[in-house]
Amino acid sequence: MISYRRRKLTNAILVPVLAVISGLVVAGFLILFTDVSPFQAIWEMFRAGFGCRSLDRCALFTTLERSTPLLLTGLSAVIAFRTGMFSIGQEGQLMIGAIMAAWLGFAVDLPPIIHPLFVMLTAMTAAGLYGWVPGFLKVKLGVNEIISTIVLNDIAILFATYLVNFPLRADRGTTAYSPVIDETAKLLVFMPGSKWGIGFVIALAAAAAVYLYLWRSTPGYEQRMAGESSGFALFGGIRNDRAAIRGMVLSGAVAGLAGAIEVLGVHYRINQDFSLGLGFDGLAVAILGQVHPVGVVLVAILFAGVRLGAQLGLQFSFGIPRELGGSIIALVILFVAASRLYENNLERIQVWIDRLRGRKTAVEAAVEESG
Amino acid sequence: MDELFTIALLGSGLRLATPIVLAALGGAICQRAGVLNLALEGKMLLGAFIGIVMAYTLGNTYLGVMVAMIAGGLLGLLFAFLYLRYKVNLIILAIAINMLILELTVYFMRILFGNVGSWSDPSIQRLPDIRIPFLHDSGALGDLLSGYNWIVYFSWFTAIVVYIVMFHTKFGRHVRAVGENKEAAETLGINVPRVQITALVIAGMLCALGGAFLSVGHLTLFTRNMSNGRGWVAVTAAIFGFQHPIGVLFAGWFFGLAEAFAVRIQSVSDLPPNLIQLIPPFATLSALVLVALREKAVRRLNRRRFISRLEEEQRSAAASAAD
Amino acid sequence: MENIVEITSSTKYFASSDVLANNQVDFAVRKGEVHALVGENGAGKTTLMNILYGLIKPDSGTIRFEGREVEVNHPDDALRLGIGMVHQHFKLVPSFSIAENIMLGMEPNRFGMLRKRDEIEAVRELADRFGLPVDPRTRIRDLPVGMQQRVEILKVLARDVKVLILDEPTAVLTPLEVTELMTVVRELARRGRTIIFITHKLVEVKEVADRVSVMRGGKMVGTAEVAETSIPDMARMMVGRQVILQIKKGTANPGEKVFEARNITVADSSGLPVVKNLSLHVRAGEILGVAGVSGNGQTELVEAVTGMRPVEGGAFFVNNHEITGTTVGERRRAGMAHIPEDRIRIGLNLETNLDENLVVSRYKLPTFNRFGFLLRGAMSRFAGEVVERFQIAAARPGDSIATLSGGNMQKVVLGRELSGDPKFIVANQPTRGLDVGSIEFVHQTLIEARDNGAAVLLVSVELEEIMSLSDRIAVIFRGQIAGEVDPDTVTVEEIGLLMGGSTLDGHAAGEAEEMQTEGAP
């Protein structure tokens, strides 16, 4: 019990830091396959991912642009996980949001500001409903949410493929695209040279909103209690089933917003490979960010920066394939997930220190106490 | 429309189904052993990459496929190690491994073969198609059953072998016992980790074989993200086949056939092909719901039965006490 | 007669729950006897047996089997020695047949291929040999509980054991199944098997055992010949004879009937009815103590009363309003407070801080929420007040509660439940695992609440607690009220008899179902 606080601190800060270091060390070995010095390469990667030469050639802006969907899918996972639902449906919900945005982006005529707002709200509603399905199936029938969200991901992706090939296909080109959305629907971009714009601000606002919702509002409180201890929630008079469904709907809506912003702010249309794992990246962001909005913001930017740095710094400067960036991220997730690797050893060190100080171990203390 | 359902269509369905069947069998074995394995996608992709690279390096496609299977098995071993030793959450583990393999395969492709998006070499031999003697030229049946490479036949064979192993051998029974009630198996001296490790290694090998089918069986080419979601389709197929080897074989065929049908329909009609591909996952979702409904009904029935039995006993006990 | 099993000075400490489950326990079993091991839940019986069976590694202690010192690190080792165990929660594979379950791990095979016909034959032969008929092909999931237990016993017998441990084997059985089991146990002993029978039901001890060992609080209290021991003696050993806690308590002034349960039937998680047709009531300003050995339906009764578990039959009333179908939240808003027996998992949420723990039953009140947002300031102030009023040491608003001691955790629960003057308080084992100081505090607090006019339903397995706090005592046995007594006139022995399933005139009332002592004087 005494070590509880210490362990919590370890979990929150030490483990991610150790994991990032471990990931970079492994990446260093991977770089040895090339003839570039690992230290130089990794330094260059961070410089290129987060640096800023001038306002119109600023890698950081692109990093922030690319962090936007990660941030939102990460938040989506935070809402689901905090409610005790292990949803991996972000991928499909994002697609539903993107589909709605790509369609309504050209299909309705609305004045500027109103148009994107309307599109985003509809996309969130549609994706929220898509999140409701696994929530409902879990609560009413006990269908495992992991399995149902996997199947629903399949369905959403195939549905999007159908749409961009048929009803929404722009022309009979070799690759299928939906038409470009109207100018009125596009989101404001801050600086030429990147698509960093209002979408990022919306994502940050969403992070704040998720924080306020989960930690400051009564429905958010209900969700967290249900997720942290369903027995306690039931005991206190909280409806666990309602909290779970609400969590899934909101989680879906935020993932849908990610898809909408990608369409309205970056690509302006969708193709069949639109998502490319953004949903799974979001899960990773949430886990690495300690399932907390602040962590999610930081980790999303870190992920986007490492990927961009690998592309600009490693690939363009040294000819090292940019996939190293993604590999580092995957390794870091692996090391975080294997946090017992560190915790076990930390505990062992603690016992050792106790002995050195002449303290009793827990067993000895308990026997003595009972007399 | 009558030209839609041709033997060629069925044949291409069986081909497209092969990697899905293999990976889904792997997934089903793991599920039976009580391990949720969502890393089928990554293991498949690794097999595709190692298969073609080793076929090229060793100059022999068969050897390449063998090495790919070994690599898949090793990845399964790593998965087992991280899960059993460090208790890594299975979902996170799968997501990280899928991502790692996706990135690393491209990384090494580019390190080895220059800055390319996809890679092939004329020296690589595609796995030859097997013409079954007598059957091959015997008309429709021959067209349907003959003329695939060995991985296709192996996938059918594997389904049957897995069925026999699962339900008719000592090892298979232990696997099912571990998956259904780990403690029961443990207390009777069954080595649970060993069973789970074996399941994961076999799954890794089957997935890798499915992947190698893509890169040296179907085509001779490797591209970024070559498995392209087939591992996830395999997870769905395993669910649809109720984790039963034969069910999984048919589920895999169903998914493959839908894909082939979608390709085919494009050239003969204006019907949207991708809608056909939506049928299998929808069927899976419906199956999930129906099974859950049935279980709920059975639970309710059992409970009612039990309570009435108990009341009866109480009545008779009271009656005998009154005597 | 020689000892077949001898455990010396077994000690086991569970760090995660901070429980010393076995404290230098000595335990010896003679060859060929039925040896009952009795004690409350949490007395350490199951831990001791898990150590013998190799499921738990003790921190210290030795095991001798047939005179030799042995190492039992895994159930494998135990089975090889000839020690088998039937767990309270069956370890069967539901989709497997009876034969498949019995032969699991020792299947007849040729080159790894199963020989199913041999298997069925072997099981049939085994069942005949021990006179326990079963149909080897039936699937476990289609079997009633009693049959499943028979399969468990056969499974162990198939491994040719000399010592058979039965862990609370009657807990899940119907009365008829219990009778059958007793016959089986005696028969096995007659055939030379040694049986360790874990239970907390003393009637069963009388019925089946040769000798009995009693454990309490992780220690071995003593071993006796059953023939020379009475049920009250055993009850006393089990419950303990601590100094009765001195509680300053005025006479009660019972008022109106606040809570009433009429003919309540409740099922446990596996669907078994564990509370049967039970009725009781509590008036304002009194404490009704429900005494009983744990596992007689108390947990389910309390969960049903508080709305956490649905009832299969009967009705609840608060102030003559029916509340049977209402939710936990509705009951709480109607003035019900609940002190649960498991404060770690149910009563508190250790993942979050003091403030959030304190408002779980009242976060919807205008005091703590405006427009759907929590008023952190008000929560913090409330936490401050509770900390002060309930003297929760080492806690300030906003603190994590996971680091608090058990006593302080319970004060947090009390603080939440008793703030706001509830009309009806349900307290289940409110002092479990607490030190003497904290126990006294809890008792004082409950009496204060009573004196302020609250109706208190106190459920406890601590007889001293029930005797010193209650204004009326109802004894629960096998999900029914076995009798109601007056704490001022009743003796510990008398309550012990009722708790053990006997009537007050000393006769075992094993099938007490027919004695329906409903309501009370």
Q: Which of B107, B115, B295 sits opposite A324 (nearest CB)?
A: B107
Which amino acid would we find at residue A303?
F
Chain C adjacent subunits, 3+ CB pairs under 8 A: A, B
Instruction: List helix spans (H) across B213-272.
Output: 230-240, 245-268
Q: Which of A147, A162, A325 sits opposite B275 (nearest CB)?
A: A162
Nearest Cα residue in chain A from C12: A363
> How many Å lie between the alpha carbon of C229 and the closest alpha carbon of chain A?
29
Measured at the CA of A267, the angle between CA A265 and CA A269, to 5 degrees, comes to 110
Please state the ipTM of this predicted complex: 0.86
Q: What is residue C38's three-state secondary structure?
A: strand
Instruction: List helix spans (H) across chain B.
Output: 7-32, 40-58, 61-86, 90-113, 140-145, 150-168, 170-180, 182-187, 192-212, 230-240, 245-268, 273-322
Contact C438, C415 (CB under 8 A): no
Contact A219, A306 (CB under 8 A): no
From chain A, the residues in CB contact with C360 under 8 A are 225, 232-233, 235-238
From chain C, the residues in CB contact with A238 under 8 A are 329, 360
Which residue ranges in chain C fall short of pLDDT 70?
Answer: 1, 16-18, 41, 172, 174-175, 240-248, 503-521
Using a CB–CB cutoff of 8 Å, tell me whether A235 touches chain C: yes
From chain B, the residues in CB contact with C84 under 8 A are none
Phi, psi of C258 (to 5 degrees): -95, -45
Tell me the torsion sign for CA atoms A63, A64, A69, A71.
positive
pLDDT of residue A317: 84
The DSSP 8-state label assigned to residue C212 in this structure reads E
- Whole-angstrom Cα Rg for chain C: 25
Q: Which two tokens stand for residue C310?
A: 């649905």
Contact B281, A92 (CB under 8 A): no
Q: Which residues of A322-349 are buried (b: 16+ CB within 10 A; e: fewer)?
A: bbbbbbbbbbbbbbbbbbebbbeebeee
From chain C, the residues in CB contact with B312 under 8 A are none
Interfacial A residues in 244-273 facing C (CB < 8 Å)? none
Using a CB–CB cutoff of 8 Å, tell me whether C96 touches chain A: no
From chain A, the residues in CB contact with C348 under 8 A are 232
Which amino acid would we find at residue C504?
L
> Tokens 């003329």 map to which residue?
B147
| Nearest-angstrom CA–CA distance, C20 and C237 | 19
Asked if B307's CB is within 8 angstroms of C104's CB, the reply is: no
What dihedral do alpha carbons B95, B100, B106, B107 form, nearest 10°?
160
From chain B, the residues in CB contact with A287 under 8 A are 92
Asked if B317's CB is within 8 angstroms of C175's CB, the reply is: yes
Q: How many residues does chain A have?
A: 371
Asked if C75's CB is within 8 angstroms of B303's CB, the reply is: no
Contact B88, B26 (CB under 8 A): no
Nearest Cα residue in chain B from C75: B187
Asked if A216's CB is within 8 angstroms of C376's CB, the reply is: yes
Distance of CA C228 to the CA centre of its chain: 27
What dihedral do alpha carbons B26, B32, B37, B38 form, nearest 10°?
90
Q: What is residue A167's three-state secondary structure?
A: coil
Using a CB–CB cutoff of 8 Å, tell me whether C435 touches chain A: no
From chain C, the residues in CB contact with B310 under 8 A are 174, 272-273
Q: DSSP secondary structure string, C309-323?
A: S--SEEEEEETTEE-
> How many Å lie between the alpha carbon of C465 and the closest alpha carbon of chain A?
21
As averages over each run of 10 residues, the pLDDT of chain B (323 residues) reads: 70 93 97 94 96 94 96 97 90 91 93 85 88 78 83 95 96 95 88 96 97 92 89 91 95 91 74 78 88 84 72 69 61
Q: Which residues of A245-284 are buried (b: 16+ CB within 10 A; e: fewer)?
A: bbbbbbbbbbbbbbbbbbbbbbbbbbbbebbebbbbbbbb
Partnered with residue C224 across adjacent β-strands are C212
| Nearest-angstrom CA–CA distance, C306 and A311 | 60
Q: Which of B96, B272, B274 sits opposite A330 (nearest CB)?
A: B96
Residues contacting residue A333 through CB under 8 Å, at least 6 positions apart: A19, A284, A287, A288, B92, B95, B96, B99
Distance of CA A148 to the CA centre of its chain: 20
Using a CB–CB cutoff of 8 Å, tell me whether B189 touches chain C: yes
| Nearest-angstrom CA–CA distance, C451 and A239 | 33
Strand C83-86 and strand C34-38: the pairing is unpaired
> Tokens 């030469």 map to which residue?
A53
| Nearest-angstrom CA–CA distance, B20 and B218 | 13
CA distances from C243 to C246, C436, C464, C465 (A): 9, 11, 9, 11
> How many Å lie between the alpha carbon of C312 and the closest alpha carbon of chain A?
19
| Nearest-angstrom CA–CA distance, A166 and B265 | 13
Q: What is residue C353's three-state secondary structure?
A: strand
Interface test with B, best of C83, C85, C91 (most B CBs within 10 A): C91
Query: Closest Cα to residue B152, out of B120, B124, B125, B127?
Result: B127
> How many Å lie between the alpha carbon of B121 and the closest alpha carbon of chain A?
20
Using a CB–CB cutoff of 8 Å, tell me whether B301 touches chain C: no
Q: Which two tokens stand for residue B33?
A: 């052993």
Chains B, C: CB contacts within 8 A come to: 91
**Quick one: residue C390, left, alpha or beta (phi over 0 = left, psi -120 to 50 = alpha)?**
alpha
Q: What is residue A217's three-state secondary structure?
A: strand
pLDDT of residue A18: 84
The DSSP 8-state label assigned to residue A182 in this structure reads P
Asked if C55's CB is within 8 angstroms of B181's CB, the reply is: no
Q: Which of A5, A235, A370 sits opposite C20 (nearest CB)?
A: A370
pLDDT of residue C240: 66
Asked if C55's CB is within 8 angstroms of B184's CB, the reply is: no
Asked if C273's CB is within 8 angstroms of B310's CB, the reply is: yes
Using a CB–CB cutoff of 8 Å, tell me whether A6 touches chain C: no
Q: Which of B171, B186, B321 sits opposite C514 (nearest CB)?
A: B321
Using a CB–CB cutoff of 8 Å, tell me whether A209 touches chain C: no
Nearest Cα residue in chain A from C333: A237
Element (H, E) at C283: strand C273-283
Query: Closest Cα to residue C246, out of C390, C447, C453, C391?
Result: C447
Residues contacting residue B85 through CB under 8 Å, at least 6 positions apart: none
Which residue ranges in chain A fall short of pLDDT 70?
Answer: 1-12, 172-174, 275, 340-371
CA distances from A268 to A37, A103, A258, A282 (A): 40, 10, 13, 21
pLDDT of residue C177: 80
| Nearest-angstrom CA–CA distance, B250 and B244 | 10
> How many Å lie between the alpha carbon of A194 and the closest alpha carbon of chain B?
24
Chain A adjacent subunits, 3+ CB pairs under 8 A: B, C
> How many Å lie between the alpha carbon of B14 and the closest alpha carbon of chain C?
31
Which amino acid would we find at residue A142?
G
> How many Å lie between the alpha carbon of B274 and the closest alpha carbon of chain A?
5
> How many Å lie between the alpha carbon of A141 and the closest alpha carbon of chain B?
6
Global pTM?
Answer: 0.84
The DSSP 8-state label assigned to residue A2 in this structure reads T
Using a CB–CB cutoff of 8 Å, tell me whether B183 touches chain C: yes
Element (H, E) at A103: helix A90-107
CA distances from A16 to A10, A49, C312, C405 (A): 9, 20, 50, 30
pLDDT of residue A368: 58
Chain B adjacent subunits, 3+ CB pairs under 8 A: A, C
Residues contacting residue C448 through CB under 8 Å, at least 6 positions apart: none
Asked if A229's CB is within 8 angstroms of C349's CB, the reply is: yes
> How many Å lie between the alpha carbon of C193 and the closest alpha carbon of chain A?
35
From chain C, the residues in CB contact with A236 under 8 A are 328, 332, 360-361
Query: Closest Cα to residue A264, out of A118, A125, A116, A91?
Result: A116
Using a CB–CB cutoff of 8 Å, tell me whether C312 touches chain B: yes
Q: Which of B168, B184, B303 sits opposite C93 (nearest CB)?
A: B184
From chain A, the residues in CB contact with B273 under 8 A are 165
Contact A72, A333 (CB under 8 A): no
Contact B42, B230 (CB under 8 A): no
Count of C-beta atoms within a 10 Å radius of residue C71: 10
Q: What is residue C224's three-state secondary structure?
A: strand
Query: Closest Cα to residue B14, out of B274, B299, B261?
Result: B261
Asked if A326's CB is within 8 angstroms of B102's CB, the reply is: yes
Asked if A338's CB is within 8 angstroms of B82's CB, the reply is: yes
Query: Closest Cα to residue B214, out of B200, B230, B202?
Result: B230
| Nearest-angstrom CA–CA distance, A45 and A50 | 9
Using a CB–CB cutoff of 8 Å, tell me whether C403 touches chain A: yes
Interface test with A, best of C328, C355, C358 (most A CBs within 10 A): C328
